[in-house]
A and B are shown apart, each in its own frame.
Chain A
Amino acid sequence: MAYPPPAEGKKPDAAIRFPAGAVAKFQISDLDFYYGPKKVLMDISLAIPEKTITALIGPSGCGKSTFLRTLNRMSETVRHTRMEGQILLDGTDIKTMDLVTLRRQVGMVFQKPNPFPKTIFDNVAYGLRVNGVPRGMTLAEAVEKSLHRAALWDEVKDSLRKSAYALSGGQQQRLCIARALAVNPQVLLLDEPCSALDPIATAKIEDLLLTLKDVCTIVIVTHNMQQAARVSTVTGFFLLGRLIEFNETRILFKTPARKETEDYITGRFG
């Protein structure tokens, strides 16, 4: 079934609000994105608040993952793609930023856990080795700190030299989070990080995210609305490549401004 796109000429701005009192980390304006000739993101404009968890929801294929991947220009690794519009990170256009620096500041965790075929220690140490260990710390200390932050230390402290593949799926995903945290990113992007995990592993990761939001800006893509409601402060709803609504989570879920949002969150959609 097709959904009517927002009516012509009507500014969707009414449904896209920035939480009061917050500082914007990302400022996105008029973002379009193409896979070959196909336009998959249309006219996206919003601001993502700093040190907050922002959830992006929407049916599959709505462009939310693509949007996430534009934030650290990971979208460029896919061939035949094109991005138009502007994304500012702390006021700097990310197109003018150095790719390596950008990605170091904006970390990413993927849908499927993707540890390297190395030991647990080496996985976490990888980013530190390429980017350098923070001052006043040894590599081992930095790795331990990251594993602590990812709430994985107690489970793996005796098996740091074992292959990362020996871990369970949930542990692997937390290892990937630890790996991303090790380089101290300002932003952490998560692309449906729990879709391959069982409920207990999911709960652990959600707890972890809540502890992290004081130090970094988190953007999480999820198709699980309960998850968005549980962890996020701000939520954006995507449909057919457009951002339909963006607001504080409790407002968006209780009193959505647009009918499409309401239909989706009440399950009347699809």
Chain B
Amino acid sequence: MSLRMARRKMVNLLMFTGTGVCAVVSVLALCFILGYLLWNGGHYLSWSFLTKLPTPVGQPGGGMANAIVGSGKILLIAAVTGIPVGLLAGVYLAEFGGNTMTFMVRYAADLLNGVPSIVTGIFAYTLVVVPFHEFSAVAGGLALGIMMIPIVMRSTEDFLRAVPGTLLEGALAIGASRWRGIATVVVPAAFRGIATGILLSMARVAGETAPLLFTSFNNRYWATGWMQPTASLPVMIFTYAISPYDDWQRQAWAAGFVLLMLVLLINICARALLLRGHPTGR
């Protein structure tokens, strides 16, 4: 083998190794995060963490039951506001849209998708918190709902478009009206894909902290209604993590553990749903 060839082979091998290291490092990062959280968070996780209210500083025990319920409430509002808009807008784009309107809606959704989450928080603040003079679960849920819209919309559109046109034609040919064909044939055919999109968008916003800081704010007690400051897991993690108290920091780890498990679980479920699905969903 000539010297030149040897050198080229050497470079090839070097780059194979080098890029391989890059890939492995990126993957190890996740394994490290998971492992570290499992170790620390799982360690501090207890039954009272899941069922009790936070205790004042210095008093041991206590938990984040209110934050877990609060996160649930905020996510519920996010789903109620975000999913219908995203879903129906997606249906419009895939089945009805004209050129100009389609372009505008897509462009708007792209913009919305790129908005930093903290800016969405400001927006929800001016829309809900200012007029009602109160931090609330509704404001936080609205902020997260707005973030869900573009994700749900794009995935709905993509999966609807992937449904073969012959399906709708088949429905029309037996006398169904267009909307009936869409609602009973096209949407069900794309159901798995759409559900995946919705789940992924939920997973994405479930961990969002920044938009909640000044919309749903925080609360050390149970929030009885929807229009009160409401605790949530991500905000609790933030508050407790930057606090100087060991006790709170341990709670932050436990909360981080719960949050990460929740987010990863939704993610994996969503992907599994898609994989198991028929090719029509793809």
Direct contact of A and B (CB under 8 A): yes
Q: Which A residues form the contact surface with B (CB < 8 A)?
A: 98, 100-101, 130-132
How far is B4's CA from A132's CA once the two chains are assembled, in angstroms?
8
Residue contacts A-B, CB under 8 angstroms, 9 given? A98-B1, A98-B5, A100-B5, A100-B8, A100-B9, A101-B5, A130-B8, A131-B4, A132-B4
User: What chain B residues lie within 8 Å of A131 (beta carbons)?
Assistant: 4
Name the residue of chain B whose CB is nearest to the CB of A132.
Answer: B4
Bound CA–CA A247/B4 (angstroms): 41
CA distance A266 to B193 in the complex (A): 52
- Mask: chain B, 1-41; 1 = CB below 8 Å from A; 0 = not: 10011001100000000000000000000000000000000
The smallest beta-carbon distance between B12 and chain A, in angstroms, is: 9
| CB-based nearest B residue for A104 | B5
With a cutoff of 8 Å between Cβ atoms, the chain B residues found around residue A130 in the complex are 8
Mark B residues whose CB is within 8 Å of A: 1, 4-5, 8-9
Q: List, in ascending order, chain B residues with CB within 8 A of A101's CB.
A: 5
- What residues of A have a CB within 8 angstroms of the CB of B4 in the complex? 131-132
Contacts of B1 in A (CB 8 A): 98
A239 to B182, CA, bound (A): 47
Q: How far is the CB of A146 from chain B (nearest CB, A)?
A: 20
Give me 6 other A-B pairs in contact (C-beta within 8 A), A100-B8, A100-B9, A131-B4 excluded.
A98-B1, A98-B5, A100-B5, A101-B5, A130-B8, A132-B4
Q: Collect the chain B residues with CB atoms within 8 Å of residue A100's CB.
A: 5, 8-9
CB-nearest residue of chain A relative to B9?
Answer: A100
Q: Chain B nearest CB: distance from A215 CB in Å?
A: 23
Closest beta carbon of chain B to A185's beta carbon, Å: 16
A131 to B1, alpha carbons, bound, how many Å? 13
**Nearest 4 A/B pairs, CB to CB:** A132-B4, A100-B5, A101-B5, A98-B1
The CA of A101 and the CA of B9, in the complex, are separated in Å by 11
What's the nearest-Cβ distance from chain A to residue B189, in Å? 29
* Residues of the B chain whose Cβ atoms lie less than 8 Å from the Cβ of A98: 1, 5
Distance, CA A112 to CA B9, complexed state (A):
29
- Chain A nearest CB from B47 CB (Å) reads 50
How many angstroms from the CA of A139 to the CA of B8 in the assembled complex? 19
Residue of A nearest to B1 (CB): A98
In the complex the two chains form, what is the Cα distance from A95 to B5 in whole Å? 18
Complex alpha-carbon distance, A256 and B9, angstroms: 48
Q: Measured between C-beta atoms, what is the minimum distance from B110 to chain A in Å?
A: 28
CA distance A132 to B9 in the complex (A): 14
Minimum Cβ distance to chain B for residue A95 (Å): 17
- In angstroms, Cα B2 to Cα A131, docked, is 11
Give the distance in Å from the alpha carbon of A131 to the alpha carbon of B4 in the complex: 8
CB distance from B14 to the nearest CB of A (A): 15
**Chain B, residue nearest A130 (CB):** B8
B5 to A: closest C-beta gap in Å: 7
**Bound complex: CA of A130 vs CA of B9, how far in Å?**
11
Q: In the complex the two chains form, what is the Cα distance from A130 to B5 in whole Å?
A: 9
Closest to B4 in A: A132
Q: Which residues of A contact B5 (CB under 8 A)?
A: 98, 100-101
Bound Cα distance A160, B8 (Å): 28
In the assembled complex, the Cα of A130 lies from the Cα of B4 at a distance in Å of 9
State how many angstroms separate the Cβ of B98 from the closest Cβ of chain A.
34
CA distance in complex: A100, B9 (Å) = 9
Q: What CA separation (Å) do A260 and B5 show in the bound complex?
A: 47
CA distance A112 to B8 in the complex (A): 29
A130-B11 Cα distance, complex, nearest whole Å = 12
CA of A166 to CA of B30, assembled, Å: 47
* Complex alpha-carbon distance, A58 and B9, angstroms: 39
Report B-chain residues with C-beta under 8 Å of the C-beta of A132.
4
A101 to B5, CA, bound (A): 9
Q: How far is the CB of A20 from chain B (nearest CB, A)?
A: 37
Expressed in whole angstroms, the Cα–Cα distance for A101 and B1 within the complex equals 9
- Measured between C-beta atoms, what is the minimum distance from A239 to chain B in Å? 33
> A102 → chain B, closest Cβ, in Å?
12
**Minimum Cβ distance to chain A for residue B9 (Å):** 8
Chain A: CB-nearest residue to B2: A132
Q: Which A residues are in CB contact (< 8 Å) with B8?
A: 100, 130
In whole angstroms, what is the CA distance A100 to B2 when docked? 12
Report the Cα distance A131→B5, complex, angstroms: 8
Distance in angstroms between the alpha carbons of A131 and B9 in the assembled complex: 12
CA distance A71 to B209 in the complex (A): 59
- Complex alpha-carbon distance, A233 and B9, angstroms: 38
- Find chain A residues with CB under 8 A from B9 CB: 100
Min CB gap A99→B, angstroms: 10
Q: Which residue of B lies closest to A131 (CB)?
A: B4
| Bound Cα distance from A101 to B4, whole angstroms | 12
